[in-house]
Structures are given as C-alpha cells and as structure tokens.
A and B are shown apart, each in its own frame.
Chain A
Amino acid sequence: MSAIGELSTMTRRKGPATKEEKKANGRDNKAAYIFLLPWLVGLVAITIGPMLMSLYLSFTDYNLLQPPEWVGLDNFVRMFGDARLHNSLGVTFTYVLVGVPLQLAVALLIALVLDKGLRGLPFYRSVFYLPSLLGGSVAIAILWKQIFGTTGLVNQVLAMVGIQGPGWISDPGTALGSIILLHVWTFGAPMIIFLAGLRQIPVMYYEAAKVDGATTLQQFWRITLPMLSPIIFFNLVLQIIGSFQSFTQAFIVSGGNGGPSDSTMFFTLYLYQKGFGQFDMGYASAMAWFLLVIIGVFTAINFIASKYWVFYDD
C-alpha cells in the first residue's frame, strides 16, 4: 500500500485491537527506541522543533541580528495587503492547477499506450523516465532558458516554417507556460506508477467485458479508470504537494527575480527573497506557515473528494 493509502486506512480503521497489539508483554520498547533514536532526534531537532520555532517567529519581527521582537498578527496583516504575495499565489496556483493535471494526463496516456506487452517497452520506458530524473536540475533549467529564449531552439524551429515566435521566457504572457511545460516534461515518474498499477488490474475483467461486447472506450471508462483510481489519487496528492514547493526551475529561468514582471514569481521564490534576500525571517516564517495551510487544505479537499471518485477494490 502506498504511504497515502496507509495513512487513510490508519484514520479509517477503528476496529478491535489485533492480536499483535494485544500482546502487550511481547513488546521490546528498549530495543525499538534504540533503533529509532536517530529518527527521533531528527524528528525533534530537525522537524518538529523548527516547525514550532517558525510558528513562533511568524508572530515576530526578526532579522537574524537583533533578537526577535513580538509583533502579534502584524506579519499576517501585512500578507493581506501584499500585492506581490497575492500575485505569487496566483502564479503558484496556475502552475499547480494547470501543470499537475496536464502532467498526469500525459503520464496516463503514455502508460496506456505502453501497457500490454508492447515490443521495446523497456526502451520506451527508459526514454520517458529519464527526463523526470534530470528535470529538477539546474542544468535542465539552463537548457530551458535557452530553448525558450528569443533566439532559442523553439524559435529556430518555428523560423524554419516561417513563424517568428515570441521570446517565450521574456514575455510575461508565456514565461509561466514554459515552466509548466518543463513540469509536464517530467511525466516519467507518475507514468511508471501508472504502468505498475495497470499491471495489477486482473485480465479477466477485460475478458469478461469483451465477451459482453464492450468497446475499448467502454472498457477504459468502466474498468481501467475505476481500478486505477487509487493510483491516480496517489499521484495527484503527491504531485500537488510537490508542485506547490517548486523552486529551482523558476529561480534559474528567471535569473532569481521571478521576472519578467513577476510572472514567474512562485510563492516559494518570494519566500526565499523575503527570508534569505532581505532577512525578513518573521515574515518568511508567516509565509511558510501560510503555505503549509494551503497545502493542507488542498490535500484535505483531495481526500474528501476522493470518496466520490476513488474506488477501493477491497
């Protein structure tokens, strides 16, 4: 079961204790906590401690040099009136709401074409998977910057058929689109997960459907999609959480400033500028918590909505 499946069953199951849980005297607390020691230290010192600390800092004015000064809700009030922040939210939402569905649709489509013992499958799979390993690197962001530049590869190809393309990344109207395309380009990882999921659908369902005279399209809507829905859900949740945190591509393509005219100013980029450019650590902490709440809300919506479309075969 995936991490998400595991989490949702943990919250769903409230039945009687299993045999293992009842066997209280069979516990090895000492050994367990020794094995867990590095993880526990990390949880406290690297994760939960800093989380609480950043919650506190979000109510302060802090620039690393002077001690933090309590300002109450000032940072959050400031966020309400910060037009650049609102813009960065818009950019991030567009990126997530366009990029994620588009990427998953391509991943599913290619997985469907690749499924069922096609010759050369391992080769194709590698070709499609490679970009998702490289896509997060600075090197690929540099390549993108060239490809979608005014005299870049895309416009060179367009010029061959007589079209003069715009400067994709220097035009505020298309800059974000270029970065979304980079996200779609990395569809290989969800594709692999879809492929593995497709393998798990019992062949007999399709055979039965064929006997009943179902068309390929009907089989897709009635068998493939419902059976695959837990995996689509898993990909959706993970990709949304991940995409909200995208940083490198926008940073490199825009030269670190989120330009042109803030059209690629992702929320994380603005957070970086506030925190590590201007050392406005209190405000950056407030932004970080706001981001956590947004991601939490999106994930919660996802889980609630999943009750209506995700089909569990158990």
Chain B
Amino acid sequence: MTKLQSLPAASSSDAKAGQSGKSPRRRESRGNLAFSRSARTKGLIKHAILILVGGVMIYPLLWMVVSSLRPNDLIFREPGLWLESLEMSNYTDGWSALTHPFGHYMINSAIVVLGSIVGNLVSCSMAAYAFARLQFSGKKLFFGIMLLTIMLPFHVVIVPQYILFSQIGWVNTFWPLIVPKLLATDAFFVFLMVQFIRGIPKDLDEAARIDGAGHPRIFLRVILPLMVPALATTTIFTFIWTWNDFFGALIYLTDPDMFTVPVALRAFVDSQSATSWGSLFAMSIVSLLPVFLVFLFGQRFLIKGIATTGIK
C-alpha cells in the first residue's frame, strides 16, 4: 500500500527535477522517452505475434462451429468462416443418429461426473486434512507414496482393476468410474488441497481446539469453509477430466445404454462413413459445450489451480 502510494510522488518529483535543469536528470528522462517509444513498437510486435499464434490456434475451433452449420458437402470445400445459410439439420440428425438420442449419453456422462466430483471432494479433502494438519506415525512414508501415485501410469493397474470390477459384476455400470474417486485415487487433488490447507493460519485451529472442538469439528467448521477455492478448483478439474475421460469408459462401458459422451462419439465415428461430417461436428460441439462453459465461468480457479500446484 505504502509502496504504491509513494510511486506517483516519486515520479512527480523526478519531473520537477527535470524542469529545474539538472543535467544528469534530464538525460535520464530523455532516455526514458526513447525507451517508451521503443517499448511501444515492442508492444505492437508482441501483440502481432500473439494475435497470429492465437488466431491459428483458435481457427480450427471456429471453423468446426461454422462447418457444423453448413451443408455436408461444403465441409470439404470451404475453408472460410462465412455462412450463407444456417443449416440446423446437422444438429437434429446428429442428435438422433445413434441408438439413443444424444441427450441420453450426456445424462450418463453427467451421472459419472457428479459422482466423481462428490467422491473427490469428500475423500481428497479428508486425506488432505490428515496430511496437512495431523501428526501420525508413518506420515512421511504415506505422504511420499501419495506423491508417487500422482505420477503412476494408469495402465499398470488397469488390467487387474478390470478383472476385479468384472468379477464383482460392475462392467457396464458406472461404479468402476466413480468408486476410485470415492477412495481418493486422484492424488493430484489431495496434493492441491494439502498445499492450500498449509496456507491457512494454524492459529484458527488452535483457537477452535481451545474452545473444545475435536478434529472432525475443526475440519468441518474451520478448514472446509476456508478452503472453498481449492474445492472449486477440484470440482472444475474433475468435471473437465471426467467429462473427457475416454479410456476408462472405453474399457468398462460396452453396452450402448451405458455409453458416456466420449464413447458415444467414438461409436458415431465408427458407424458413419465420411458422408456425415456435419452431424459428427455438430455432436462434437455439443459434447465440448459443457467444458467450454465451465472454462468460461471457472477459469479463475483453473489458472490459479495449475499455477499453485506447479509453483508453490
């Protein structure tokens, strides 16, 4: 605060010094002027680079949206973005192209996503509280193991997991996709929450303890309300990753009734020859829409989340 306030004062005294004609000051201010001009051209060059790179990156997405509103044959002839007419038939055709209307798969995905979010929020926050606040034997070892599991390739466990879940009779149910989340296997989020809880002053716990609160109460009444930003980050990342998850769904869900959006799209690609790219694009966009909306409203938490787990 004081630093900020002192800044304009300092610069105005500089200007005064310049007017009064002390030669070294004047030379410096002239240097600044030249610097600011070159900084402006530098800024322009930067903007040009960014707009060019960003444009090239985003163009395919825009083109896909526009193409989904075009007649099929134009998709292979028209690289531009202008629309002559709005063709909604791609959306209506695509919506009912598979065994079930596309909404059916979106509901399936939503169920898996919801279960995963609840699972991650509950189980990861509990584990994180223990790691961040409690002293217990084996803590270091367990914490190390937890960090290692973040980097463990999924493929090493997938075959026995599949055998396990198929023996319980869970193939073609959503349980194999949800239950691991209820058991905090997304260790990334445990770590994210541990980092967050470490930043909450311990005095708050102490005060609650003096008032006679036990760990469950401190966790529920003190820590959880304060870690809402971390919970939001977890919710958003879980949403996007689960919504996009293809491998798990491909293995566990083989009955079209149970398809989530990614496997439904894959079935769509396989069932159609190159003639219906329009409706394929249309449903692809429908499938990306929830992710895009979550990105739009939650990007503050997303960006903070990856920045802090990457740095601090």
Contact = CB atoms under 8 A, between A and B. Distances in A.
A292 B307 CA distance: 27
A151 B161 CA distance: 42
Interface stretch (A50-58, A75-83, A95-103, A304-312): A50-58
A212 interface: no
A189 interface: yes
A39 interface: yes
Given A39-B190, A143-B60, A291 B137 contact: no
A1 B312 contact: yes
B222 to A, nearest CB: 14
A138 B246 contact: yes
A213 to B, nearest CB: 13
B110 interface: no
B208 interface: no
A142 B183 contact: no
A113 B247 contact: no
A160 to B, nearest CB: 7
B159 A284 contact: yes
Contacts of A10: 140, 143-144, 147
Interface SS of B by simple majority: helix
Contacts of A21: 135
Contact-residue size bin, chain B (C-beta under 8 Å from the other chain): 35 or more
- Residue among A7, A36, A119, A153 with max Cβ neighbours from chain B (10 Å): A36
B251 A276 contact: yes
B15 interface: no
Given A3-B191, A113-B49, A248-B246, A196 B311 contact: yes
A157 B285 CA distance: 22
B57 interface: yes
Contacts of A113: 46, 49-50
Interface stretch (A122-130, A172-180, A217-225): A122-130
B30 interface: no
A234 B144 CA distance: 17
B9 interface: no
Contact of A189 (B53, B77, B306): B306
Nearest to A267: B155
A288 interface: yes
A193 interface: yes
A116 to B, nearest CB: 9
Contacts of B164: 45, 50
Interface string B273-289: 00001001100110110
A139 interface: yes
Contacts of B185: 42-43, 46-47
Contacts of B215: 28, 31, 35
A285 B75 CA distance: 43
A115 to B, nearest CB: 10
B297 to A, nearest CB: 12
B146 A39 contact: yes
B156 A288 contact: yes
Interface residues of A, number: 102
Given A50-B157, A153-B63, A193 B306 contact: yes
A245 B154 contact: yes
Given A28-B136, A129-B303, A288-B156, A35 B219 contact: yes
A137 B262 contact: yes
B103 interface: no
Contacts of A39: 123-124, 126-127, 146, 183-184, 190
Contact of B122 (A38, A131, A143, A244): A38
Contacts of B266: 138, 251-252
Contacts of B97: none
A299 B53 CA distance: 31
A128 B54 contact: yes
A196 to B, nearest CB: 4
B256 interface: no
Given A27-B137, A28-B215, A35-B215, A234 B156 contact: no
B78 interface: yes
Interface in A180-201: 185, 189, 192-193, 195-197, 200
Given A36-B126, A42-B185, A196-B310, 17 more contacts: A2-B309, A10-B147, A23-B135, A31-B216, A32-B134, A35-B134, A37-B126, A38-B122, A39-B184, A50-B164, A110-B53, A118-B46, A131-B58, A137-B243, A143-B284, A245-B155, A256-B270
Interface of A: 1-3, 6-7, 10, 20-21, 23, 26-29, 31-33, 35-39, 41-43, 45-47, 49-51, 53-54, 57, 64, 110, 113-114, 118-120, 124-131, 133-134, 136-140, 142-143, 145-147, 151-153, 156-157, 160, 185, 189, 192-193, 195-197, 200, 231, 234-235, 237-238, 241, 244-245, 247-248, 251-252, 255-256, 268, 271-272, 275-276, 281, 284-285, 288-289, 291-292, 295, 299
Interface of B: 43, 46-47, 49-50, 53-54, 57-58, 60-61, 63-64, 75-79, 122-124, 126-127, 129-131, 134-137, 139-140, 142-164, 166, 179-180, 182-185, 188, 190-191, 214-216, 219, 240-241, 243-244, 246-247, 250-251, 261-263, 265-266, 269-270, 277, 280-281, 284-285, 287-288, 291-292, 295, 299, 302-303, 306-312
22 contacts: A27-B136, A35-B134, A37-B126, A39-B123, A46-B180, A51-B160, A126-B295, A128-B54, A138-B284, A142-B280, A146-B75, A192-B306, A196-B310, A231-B310, A237-B151, A241-B153, A245-B155, A252-B246, A255-B270, A281-B163, A289-B156, A295-B153
